[in-house]
Amino acid sequence: MSNSAMEMQNMSSDGSRLGSQSASGMGSRAESSTSGAGLLPRSGSGRQLPVPRAQPQGGAGRPGGSNLNPGQDRAKAPRQLSPEEAQMLAQFRQQQRQQIEERRRAHAEAQQQQIEEEERQLELKYGAYQVIALIIPVSLCMVCVIAVLKSVSYYSQGGQQFAYTPYQENGSSSSSQQFGGALLNVIIIIAIIVVMTLVLVVLYKYRCYKGIHAWLLMSSILLLFFFSYEFLTEILQSQNVTMDYITMSITVWNFGLVGLLVIHWKGPLLLQQGYLIAVSVLMALVLIKFLPDWTTWILLGAIAIYDLVAVLCPFGPLRVLVETAQERDEPLFPALVYSSTMVWLVGMADPPAYQGPPQTPPSGARNSIGNSAQSSAPRPGTQPQSPIVPAQPSVSAEEEEEAKGVKLGLGDFIFYSVLVGKAATLSDWGTIFVCYIAILIGLACTLLLLSIIKRALPALPISICLGLIFYFITSLLLTPYLDALSYNQVFI
């Protein structure tokens, strides 16, 4: 009985409690629906479970919208830095930027040093190739002159002179008289060279290209037809070979016409270079034939000094010519220069397959162009000298590799050959070989200076100076000494 009474009491208390909750739930149903919370399913006992309310952000559930944890909002808000802290932060950021900039600068400097080192190595390889490319034609020109002088007596015999060398050297005259007369001849020749060089510069300055073309064309015709006919005649006479005039005329005509085409228009590069060497040989033989001995030696020294002044002085005619060509980005005329790679005038010579080193020369080697060397006049012995300079690249991208190189004036070829040829007519083979080696050493030194200075340089002074010094030392001291030892049968 007691247990059933207690159960009835609990059921009555639960029912009263359920009634109160349902009454309160009916009042709060509208509020919960406005808050967006759903009703939970009823429990197994038929009671509805209470729905938890979402706490609005920003403390909307409390009066005045305050949060239960005010320190949480203060932690989320950015803290105001003091002036000392802001200054320290700015300094720290500036130090970081400086460190990053220093790293970038050090990296750029390391890359620049690596590029410079590669360019320096390319300069050495490229310079060696260019030295060989110029030594071969210079040597070929000098060897041809020596061979002709040793085999044909016509060019080694004196007695005839140019009309503009009035002093006639005589064996009976004293040394002072011969020196004075030779100096007068040299002054006249240098004056003619200076005047003709100035005329060439003025014509080029005012773009009188047709006049220059006509001038050079007449000079080339004189060399390729008249001098070549005389040369061939003397060769046949010295070898006791006969040839009829028809065959002679056809041979000279073909030789001269092909030379005009490849020099003043276009043709195979090797053929073009061969004709330029042939022209230099003919001119050197004419100078050796018609210049007296004293006049030749003084002229070689004077022309080296003139070459130095004309190229290096601010208002030197050859320097003005080179700078004008650089400003206009134009090549000079192939009748005046020998190029180790490419020469052009009206058209461009067709280059052969490139067989040199695959490396391209450094940017410093791609500089100026300009040489004035060969005679621009129709008369022999009036060649303006030229600097030796880096060659200008070709206008087409395919030929850029072949077009890079150095250019040497034909006047340098001519006077190198005159020095060696005059030694061949007066001295023995030892003196000839010493002069040849001295000229090549001077040319190599000039090319070395060219790679360092990277500007137009005269090619005659060093080579001619060394050639003259070694010639007189060998002919006046070494050769008599060796002859005396040989005469007395003293062997060293």
Nearest-angstrom CA–CA distance, 275 and 262: 8
Tell me, yes or no, if 293 is annotated catalytic: no
d(CA 142, CA 40): 116
Sign of CA dihedral 229, 195, 335, 383: positive
CB distance 165 to 188 below 8 Å: yes
In contact, 386 and 304? CB cutoff 8 Å: no
How far apart CA 160 and CA 181 sit, in angstroms, is 16
| CA geometry: angle 121, 122, 123, nearest 5 deg | 90
Asked if 307 is an active-site residue, the reply is: yes
Strands 406-409 and 337-339: antiparallel
Neighbours of 53 (CB within 10 A): 13
Active-site residue identified among 14, 293, 307, 428: 307
CA torsion 176-178-184-185 (nearest 10°) is -160
Q: Which residue, 438, 101, 103, 467, is CA-closest to 296? A: 467
Q: What is the rounded distance in angstroms from the CA atom of residue 333 to the CA atom of residue 443?
A: 22
179-190 burial by CB neighbour count: b if 16+ within 10 A, else e? Answer: eebbbebbebbb
Return the active site residues: 307, 412
